[in-house]
Structure 1
Amino acid sequence: MFTITESAAEAINHLTTAQDVRARGGLRMTLNDLPEDGSALSVEVTAHPAPGDDVIDAAGTQVFLARETRVRLTDKFLDVRKDIDGHFTFLVATSR
């Protein structure tokens, strides 16, 4: 099962509030294949899921995943790091 850390949920809440989509919005994630490097994670704050997205609710926030992305992220978790300038970097890792 794909899970979201508390710190990642707080970051998503911060981003959705800042973009005024908190009520129904969330973070949409897509895992893209790269020819030599494996995969890259694309994230965007959006007001609603795309048709066919799976919706994950966690700690009062939502993450929208394309179905193929959800399958590839099974047994992984979403975490976040905040740099000194206040920018968030989301990362996906193997469940603990």
Structure 2
Amino acid sequence: MKKMFVLGMAAGLVSLSACNSTPTEQAADNIEANSEAVADNLEEAADNATTETGEAALENRADAVRATGQNQAEDMRTNDPDTNLANGM
């Protein structure tokens, strides 16, 4: 149920972000929303982990996913030719 709620929230955010923005901005917002949803699911799994080590690993992965999504979205917004995203990688 929580996963459906998170995905519904992500879809709602994406639809709201589509108003008065460029396709590049919409794509960047989609990247952020998707990475946020994945990170939230990882944190939910961490809450259900049976060991502290497993919980810490899942939380660290959630933080990494969130940071990667933010970096990719920022690359998309700035379209910096020095980034991997602009080079098609």
Coarse TM-score class (shorter-chain normalised): under 0.3
Q: TM-score, normalization: structure 2?
A: 0.25
| Higher strand proportion (structure 1 or 2) | 1
Q: TM-score, normalization: structure 1?
A: 0.24
The higher radius of gyration belongs to 2
